[in-house]
């Protein structure tokens, strides 16, 4: 098992957060909603699991994300490092949104964002669930921080993406919705309708989505509610 996968397992165990909700770019305080004392308890568990001895305090001060912790552990573990390239955005569309996607990709690059364009490259008719799955899988594996999906209305993409374990796709039409989907719901895929939302509004939605962090809530209520969504996914069609 890779260091990243094992670290995510340990984090899931210590903080009781589903592993599928944890990615290499997640920040301990802002995204996972844990305190500095919680991180100390995590470090003790990591030292035990990996047999590392006591990790140096000065190195721990720079550990802000899951990826930072992995980078600290790998050389001490004495195993080859697994390179995990994480893009800012994974994006895809169907034939109705392919031109819109091209314009948004160019704009994202101008904003210094790394973008993984998962197609299509032309306007030939395609099935939107195939492209929703491409983005959903990349985001769920932690290979992109967030996803963007575009079809004519955005509805089909949002329905399809939400069938993928670990994906919380939000169909939005304005930046307030986009920001709230991140802040309260920890949405990780933004869905847009190319036939309903103009380019300027779409860019405003994307900017709000990319810059708004998840807020667990001062009493943890938002994290608790997102965890309930994961429980529903895990339960599937079985009886409660």
The tens digit of pLDDT for each residue in 21-44 reads 888 888 888 888 888 788 888 888
Instruction: Give the CATH fold of the 87-211 domain.
Output: Ribose 5-phosphate Isomerase B; Chain: A, (3.40.1400)
Range(s) of the chain covered by CATH 1.10.1200.10: 3-77
Range(s) of the chain covered by CATH 3.40.1400.10: 87-211
- Lowest-confidence segment of 60-74, 135-149, 209-223 by average pLDDT: 60-74
- Answer yes or no: is pLDDT of 80 > 60: no
For position 56, what pLDDT does the model report?
A: 76
Q: pTM higher than 0.85, yes or no?
A: no
DSSP lists the bridge partners of residue 89 as 115, 146
Is 105 one of the catalytic residues?
no
Count the residues in the chain.
Answer: 240
CA proximity to 166, closest of 130, 144, 129, 136: 136
Superfamily of segment(s) 3-77: ACP-like (1.10.1200.10)
Residues 175-208: tens digit of each pLDDT:
999 999 999 999 999 999 999 999 999 999 999 9
Residues whose CB is less than 8 angstroms from the CB of residue 192 and which lie 6 or more positions away in sequence, other chains included: 97, 100, 148, 149, 150, 154, 171, 172, 202, 205
For 166-183, give one letter per residue: b (16+ CB within 10 A) or e. bbbbbbbeebebbbebbb
Burial of 14 (0-12, 13-18, 19+ CB in 10 A): middle
For position 115, what pLDDT does the model report?
A: 95
**Confidence band, pLDDT 50/70/90 cuts, at residue 81:** very low
- Answer yes or no: is pLDDT of 78 > 70: no
Is 184 one of the catalytic residues?
yes
Between the CA of residue 166 and those of 20, 135, 155, what are the distances in Å?
6, 12, 19
Angle at CA 120, nearest 5°, toward 114 and 121?
85
- Lowest-confidence segment of 64-68, 77-81, 229-233 by average pLDDT: 77-81
Q: Which of 105, 151, 191, 205 is catalytic?
A: 151
């Amino acid at each position: 098992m890779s260091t990243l996968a094992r670290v995510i397992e340990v984090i899931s165990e210590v903080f009781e957060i589903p592993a599928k909700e944890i990615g290499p770019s997640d920040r301990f305080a802002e995204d996972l909603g844990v305190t500095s004392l919680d991180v100390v308890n995590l470090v003790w568990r990591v030292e035990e699991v990996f047999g590392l001895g006591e990790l140096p305090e000065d190195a721990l001060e720079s550990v802000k994300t899951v990826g930072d912790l992995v980078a600290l552990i790998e050389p001490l573990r004495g195993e080859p490092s697994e390179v995990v390239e994480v893009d800012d955005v994974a994006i895809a569309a169907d034939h109705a949104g392919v031109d819109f996607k091209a314009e948004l990709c160019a704009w994202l690059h101008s904003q210094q964002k790394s973008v993984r364009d998962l197609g299509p490259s032309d306007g030939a008719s395609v099935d939107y669930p195939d492209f929703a799955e491409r983005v959903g899988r990349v985001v769920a594996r932690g290979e992109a921080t967030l996803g963007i999906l575009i079809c004519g209305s955005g509805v089909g993409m949002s329905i399809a993406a939400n069938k993928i374990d670990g994906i919380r796709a939000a169909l939005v039409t304005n930046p307030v919705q986009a920001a709230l989907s991140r802040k309260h719901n920890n949405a990780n895929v933004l869905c847009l309708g190319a036939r309903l939302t103009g380019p300027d509004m779409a860019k405003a939605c994307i900017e709000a989505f990319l810059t708004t962090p998840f807020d667990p809530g001062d009493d943890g209520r938002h994290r608790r509610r997102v965890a309930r969504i994961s429980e529903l996914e895990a339960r599937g069609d079985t009886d409660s």
